[in-house]
Amino acid sequence: MSVALRRRQAFKVMIGLGGTAASAMLPGPAQAERTAARSAESTTEEHPAHPVAPPDAIAMLYDNTICTGCKACMPACNEANSLPTDTLLSGGIWDMPLGLNAKTKNIVEPYQDPQTDEFAFVKKQCMHCLDPACVTGCLFGALVKQDLGAVTWNSSLCIGCRYCEVACPFEVPQFQWQNWNPKIVKCEFCYDQRLKEDLQPACTAACPTGTVIFGKRSDLLAQAKERISTAPDKYFEKRVYGEYEAGGTQVLYLSSVSLQKIGLPKLGSTSIGHYATKVTSVIYKWLVGPVVVAGIFGFFIRRNWDRHESERLEHEEKTGYPDQL
Amino acid sequence: MTTTEPTADKRGTTLINHWQCGVPVTQGPVLTPFLLLLIGIAALGLALAAIRFFSPLGPFSGMNDVYAWGIWKTFNVMTLTALGSGPLALGMAAWVFNRQKLHVVMRTALVSGFLFYATGLIALGFDVGRPWNFYSALMPWRWNSESAMLEISICMPLYCAVFLSFEILPLILERVYYTGNERARVILCRVAPMVRKAYPFVIVGAYVIPLMHQSSLGGLLLLAGTKMNPLWQSPVLPLLYLVAAALCGFAFTILLLMIVCLRYSRDLDAGILAELANLLSGVCFVFLAVRLSDLIWREQLRTAFAFDRMSLLFLVESGLILIPALALRFQRIRETPRALLNMSALACLGGMLYRFIPTSIAYMPARSTAYFPSAPELVMAAGYIALGSVAFVLVINYFAVLPGEASAWNHTFRPFGWPRKAAESSPVMPDATGVTLERGI
């Protein structure tokens, strides 16, 4: 919460300062508003290339060497989030989603290699990135990173542009295509439902085998590394997926099989928000770039305008034809 | 306003003329069968759009959660606003770089640009799922200042509704002046100096703002990261999108001018077209230089010439831009109408491909789902384009948009109304009797 609050407060001050500065320099009130918006970039870097998790960041650790594929987490998730069951495939009997969709925030998917006997499960839900691309792109802040690190969605700010779906590298946010009042469906770490009441998320609470566990990110990361060091051959690439992926996520994976095969994309360690905003945040800082460009344009346009005007009058005198703009 | 010197007729082609001011189309029927067809398509598209407003997006479109953006966004907005960047490209050349010859074709560029933006915004309005929440745009404290999407959704309507509209305002005032009554003229005589005074200040905004949002359209795709093919995903996407907008702006304005001049059998002005073609070729070279150095910088040159599907697509796209870039270096080609028409069409196509591919063909998320626009989606997209075309035809018939000779302009405007009435009642101001012309708007 602290980061969001600081930004918001900075915003209000900037609207005052930037607004007056801009209205003196630029034409039109709209320009002044733009100044205010862009100048909200705070002095600390908003999107470091490698974000550091705050000390109170929570996380989930999923270890598919333990998972039995019982899917107990799925109805628990549906119940906690009051989601309908996806019974399309089973003819109205079972909850059988084919993947994350408008009725499913959490799913356990099996993976089997037809040639070898390789077999594994993977639980999919929002990864709650340390620097989420969806939050960076969301235009009115409908998606926000809450305290503890949960990424939540606010229906009253969302315009349904679906930019979050384009931005998310894990393809998590889902849009209700069949609803006239469509919502973005994504795992919110049970933020409103359970985290606020000091309860752990429904899926980790329901897991009978301890496959997916809840805790502080730093603790879980240490625990995951310990598991790797005790049985290094058990884990693919001997690493924790999510420690550095896309700048780090708050859902951590340990897997016995290739991570890409079970549907976790291969990503760099740089935060996507950093990649997308590193140049524009400099250009638009305090709206300096646009104001400078406007100044240069203004100089040349005024000069050329004066030339144009004198020529126009001369032309009009000579030919009698009025000029057009 | 400058008078252009007649171009020498080197090759026996009918090029020779000079455009001096905007002249309305005064001959021929307005409602042609082709226009009626376009009106039909536009009506169908808008009717579907109206139904869409009361229906969820699902049954209307082939979009899904993997390809969350359909052709309304990727074609009607991303691609067609590049064609609508004529006012930006020509205006920059004319006002900032003082290419005075281009002032006379600004109106054509302005009207087409305005219509591309307006129809694009209509398309967006029916594309978003929760349009009623858009009022947040008026509350700056809700803005997420680092979102490229915010920049676009604030800037585009602002540009279209305020800055472009202001640039077009003289067009409308002029008509009111020449066709209105005495009272209107008195009022306009007071308003016109104010418009003139504000004009150089307002157009600064009209060139800064599209620079921002046209580059932000490319900036949008940065967040898509590895989901986009590495040939297109690059940190210079915003710059390339901007250059592609200028490219399409010049190319489409040439194409449009030539097509309407053919359609209404008007004389072409080789000097102005050649100047535009010269600029177009320059912008094409800038685009290719940035594109190539970006590929070298990111060490993707090998992928670009791997001759697989994406590489071929890249080569076609670059070829479509390279051919006009090279061809238009030759004065002979610049001054041959047929070649100029073909070359500007190729450049248009190349620029459009570049703007279209990153969000559609090169957008390849891991989940295996296909997207192809559904029939209503296509009809609606076509409807928006038809709507823009109908509006353009009407505007050039009723307002002084298309460039022509000053002497050809006798201040006759078609009166609004049915064409039969127009034929009966002759317009107010015949010029032949030597009425002294008053100063225009």
Q: How far apart are CA A75 and CA A70, in angstroms?
A: 11
Say whether residue A6 is in contact with chain B using an 8 A CB cutoff: no
Is A26 an interface residue toward B (CB < 8 Å)? yes
Give the model's pLDDT for residue B426.
44
Among A8, A166, A174, pick the best mutation site for testing chain B contact (most B Cβ within 10 A). Answer: A166
Query: pLDDT at position B418, please?
Result: 58
Tokens 């177009």 belong to residue? B280
Q: pLDDT tens digits for B313-368? A: 999 999 999 999 999 999 999 989 999 999 999 999 999 999 999 999 999 998 87
Q: Which two tokens stand for residue A323?
A: 């000029």
Confirm or reject contact between A48 and chain B (CB < 8 A). Answer: no
- Please state, rounded to an integer, the average pLDDT across all residues of chain B: 88
Question: At CB < 8 A and 24+ separation, what contacts does B363-367 make?
Answer: B363/A166, B363/B67, B363/B224, B363/B227, B363/B228, B363/B229, B364/B227, B364/B228, B364/B229, B365/A171, B365/B66, B365/B67, B365/B227, B366/A171, B366/A263, B366/A265, B366/B227, B367/A99, B367/A171, B367/B66
Q: ipTM for the complex?
A: 0.87
Q: How far apart are alpha carbons A7 and A141 in whole angstroms?
A: 12
Residue type, A313: L
pLDDT at A229 over 90: yes
At B361-418, the pLDDT tens digits run 999 998 878 899 999 999 999 999 999 999 999 999 999 999 987 777 766 788 876 5
Higher-confidence position of B269 and B254: B254
Residue of A nearest to B162 (CA): A30
Q: pLDDT tier at B17 (50, 70, 90 boundaries)?
A: low
Q: Is the pLDDT of residue B52 over 50?
A: yes
Copy the structure tokens of residue B362: 């090169």
Residue B433 has pLDDT above 80, yes or no: no
Contact: A157, B136; criterion CB under 8 Å: yes
Ranges assigned E (strand) in B311-396: none
Pick from B129, B220, B440: CB nearest A175:
B129
A162, A277, A305: residue with CB nearest B68: A162
Cβ of residue A38 closer than 8 Å to a chain B Cβ: yes
Question: Bigger pLDDT: A162 or B424?
Answer: A162
Residues of A in contact with B129 (CB under 8 A): 158-162, 175-176, 182
Note whether B68 contacts A175, CB cutoff 8 Å.
yes
The whole-number pLDDT of residue B89 equals: 97
Please answer yes or no on whether B147 and A30 come within 8 Å at the CB atom: no
Average pLDDT of chain A to the nearest whole number: 86
pLDDT band at residue A34 under the 50/70/90 scheme:
very low
Residues B85-129: tens digit of each pLDDT:
999 999 999 999 999 889 889 999 999 999 999 999 999 999 999
Alpha-carbon distance B311 to nearest alpha carbon in chain A (angstroms):
22
Contacts with B, A 176-205, CB within 8 Å: 176-182
Place of tokens 């590929």: B295
Give mean pLDDT, residues B140-161. 94
Among the partner-chain residues B54, B143, B204, the one whose CB lies closest to the CB of A301 is B204
Q: Is a pLDDT exceeding 80 seen at residue A18? A: no
In sequence order, what are the residues at sequence separation of 6 or more whose Cβ sits closer than 8 angstroms to the Cβ of residue B143?
Answer: A37, A40, A139, A140, A141, B136, B150, B154
Q: How confident is the model at residue B130 (pLDDT cuts 50, 70, 90)?
A: very high
Mutate to test the interface with A, among B106, B144, B191 (most CBs of A within 10 A): B144
Give the rounded percent of residues in chain B with a pLDDT score beyond 70.
Answer: 90
Cα gap A122→A225, rounded to integer Å? 19
pLDDT given for residue A321 in this prediction: 65
pLDDT of A252 higher than 50: yes
| Statement: residue A42 has pLDDT above 50 | no
Locate A295 and state its tokens.
Answer: 């100044």
Strand, coil or helix: what is B21?
strand
Please check whether residue A171 touches B, CB under 8 A: yes
Is the CB of B205 less than 8 angstroms away from the CB of A178? no
Residue spans per domain, chain B: 24-424
| Mean per-residue pLDDT, B183-195 | 90
Q: Out of A133-147, B176-190, B324-338, pick the least confident.
A: B176-190
Three-state secondary-structure class, residue B325: helix
* Angle between helices B375-398 and B33-53 in degrees, nearest 10: 130
**Nearest chain B alpha carbon to A19:** B140
Read off the pLDDT of residues A72-131 as tens digits, 9 standing for 90 and up.
999 999 999 999 999 988 888 888 999 999 999 999 999 988 888 888 999 999 999 999
Map tokens 């250009």 to a residue.
A283
Domain ranges of chain A: 1-45+284-325, 58-132+166-277
Q: Which helix (H) or strand (E) holds A141?
A: none
Taking 50 as the threshold, does the pLDDT of residue A22 lie above it?
A: no
- Mean pLDDT across the stretch B170-195? 88
Interface subset of B 142-201, CB within 8 angstroms of A: 142-150, 153-155, 158, 162, 170, 174, 195-196, 198-201
Per-residue pLDDT at A37 = 42
Average pLDDT over residues B295-304: 94
Q: Of the candidates A281, A301, A311, which has its C-beta nearest B95's C-beta?
A: A301
Binary contact (B148, A323; C-beta < 8 A)? no
Residues facing A124 on adjacent strands: A107
CATH topology of domain A58-132+166-277: Alpha-Beta Plaits (3.30.70)
pLDDT higher than threshold 60 for residue A28: no
Distance from the Cα of A4 to chain B's closest Cα (Å) equals 11
What is the residue whose two structure tokens read 């398509």? B41
> Which of B174, B363, B438 is facing A324, going by the closest CB pair?
B174
In the DSSP assignment, the letter for residue A149 is: G
Q: Could you please state the CATH topology (level 3) that the domain comprising B24-424 is classified under.
A: Formate dehydrogenase/DMSO reductase fold (1.20.1630)
- Write down the residue that tokens 């209107």 correspond to: B184
* Percent helix, strand and coil across chain B, each to the nearest 5: 70, 0, 30
- pTM reported for the whole predicted model: 0.88
Is A247 in the B-facing interface, judged by CB distances under 8 Å? no
Predicted confidence (pLDDT) at residue A6 exceeds the cutoff of 70:
no
Please, which pLDDT band fits residue B26 given cuts at 50, 70 and 90? Answer: confident
- pLDDT at B427 (0 to 100): 45
Q: In this complex, do B56 and A37 lie within 8 Å of one another by their Cβ atoms? A: no
Nearest by CB to residue A166, choosing from B224, B437, B440, is B224
The helix (run of H) or strand (run of E) holding residue B37 is helix B33-53
Average pLDDT over residues B259-265: 90
Is B369 in the A-facing interface, judged by CB distances under 8 Å?
A: no
A-contacting residues in B 35-74 (Cβ below 8 Å): 54-59, 63-66, 68-69
Gap between the Cα atoms of B168 and A193, Å rounded: 54
User: Are A159 and B133 in contact (CB < 8 Å)?
Assistant: yes
Higher pLDDT, B28 or B54: B54
- Chain A nearest-CA distance from B133, in A, is 5
